[in-house]
Chains A and B, each alone.
Chain A
């Protein structure tokens, strides 16, 4: 796989010229998805065709008659983005092979297909189509931007919502306080399809993220990238603390950074540093306290929820270390 090292200055110059996503989209101020989109485009090795599942990104970037996209872009529905990606890639392959557009200066057929879905479109309603595409080995880069709830419809819980979090369908009630289940282990599910490449990324660690995205583009087959994405609206964080929270998620091992190449788990960047030096692992409370969705957990009578969250993080961390052979 690639040994390409992204250089921030080169990336900036590339964006000056191509601007895959324009300003003027209507994602919330401080939305993490806006950063992920840019980083995906920065990592591209070829022109890209971009498929997006229904969700915040789709809605906010294409409010008719406006579009923020300077790359070819299509949205069909919520649960089928991966299937659409498969269709585009099949067409591309066939048309490329047939040389039908050879010599036509107006058509480009040497491109990569990237599919972007939110947690709802990936963990829940879109899981079947992704599984189908991965089983078939269709060459798409699927990026999950995980802001841990259905934000587009106004913050409802998804299979990606963490334990304890307040959403409008897991309210902090008198009896039940927030979500009572844990997050679905989505990367493991994707890795179980024996895809060549899967990884977790955080935009805060841009170098790590862009290298992994590039590997995803270069994979000989389907690739899955799980991108952690702060949502100021749904998480109740300061818009300016988007990157800070993403960093804390990694530093507390709530969202560890790793990649899985042909089934081999490998920790990367700051997560690898924590594995080598466990003292660096911060308590989850530092991450929780910056977000209104977890505020109730910090009250004395709900302290057990923080402990339970921490236990889950520790257990998952131990599992991950084992998978990575550490």
Chain B
């Protein structure tokens, strides 16, 4: 087994988790990922709202930015975008 795994003496008490999942790149699962046509974006935020993976970062004003390191490529944002500003493209 890989030596990067922690041994029993160094694990935190009570089996509590100790690394944030943000260090886990689920973006590698994706076959397709979103590409945003900024000129079409009306900043409605639906891509952000409907993302199951908290991938879109949105300040409420600018064009939402997807975190492709974590986007699994489900394509919900493409289907739900009211102005077709999002297109899923092969990774």
Direct contact of A and B (CB under 8 A): yes
Question: Which A residues are within 8 Å of any B CB, using their own CB?
Answer: 8-13, 15-16, 19, 21-35, 38, 61-62, 64-68, 70, 203-204, 206, 232, 238-244
If A24-B23, A67-B20 are given as contacts, then 14 extra A-B residue pairs at C-beta distance below 8 Å, sorted by A number, are A9-B61, A23-B67, A24-B24, A25-B53, A26-B24, A29-B73, A38-B51, A64-B15, A64-B17, A65-B18, A67-B21, A240-B75, A242-B76, A243-B50
A68 to B53, CA, bound (A): 10
Separation in Å of the B3 CB from the closest CB of chain A? 15
Name the contact of B54 in the complex, choosing from A8, A33, A38, A66 (C-beta under 8 A). A38
A12 to B20, CA, bound (A): 21
A242 to B79, CA, bound (A): 9
Known: A12-B58, A244-B79. A30 touches B74 (CB 8 A): yes
Residues of B within 8 A of A33 (CB): 52
Name the contact of B29 in the complex, choosing from A29, A61, A242 (C-beta under 8 A). A29
The answer to whether A241 and B26 touch across the interface, beta carbons within 8 angstroms, is no
Residues of B within 8 A of A35 (CB): 49-52
What range describes how many residues of B lie at the interface? 35 or more
Number of A-B contacts (CB under 8 A): 126
Separation in Å of the B43 CB from the closest CB of chain A? 9
Residues of B within 8 A of A27 (CB): 52-53
The answer to whether B60 and A13 touch across the interface, beta carbons within 8 angstroms, is yes
Residues of A within 8 A of B52 (CB): 27, 29-35, 38, 242
The answer to whether B76 and A239 touch across the interface, beta carbons within 8 angstroms, is yes
Known: A35-B51, A38-B54. A243 touches B76 (CB 8 A): yes
The answer to whether A12 and B59 touch across the interface, beta carbons within 8 angstroms, is yes
The answer to whether A25 and B6 touch across the interface, beta carbons within 8 angstroms, is no
**B38 CB–A CB distance under 8 Å:** no
List 5 A-B residue pairs with CB atoms under 8 Å apart, sorted by A's residue number. Answer: A8-B45, A27-B52, A34-B51, A67-B21, A68-B21
The answer to whether B54 and A22 touch across the interface, beta carbons within 8 angstroms, is yes
Residues of B within 8 A of A239 (CB): 73-76
Residues of B within 8 A of A67 (CB): 17, 19-21
Residues of A within 8 A of B72 (CB): 28-30
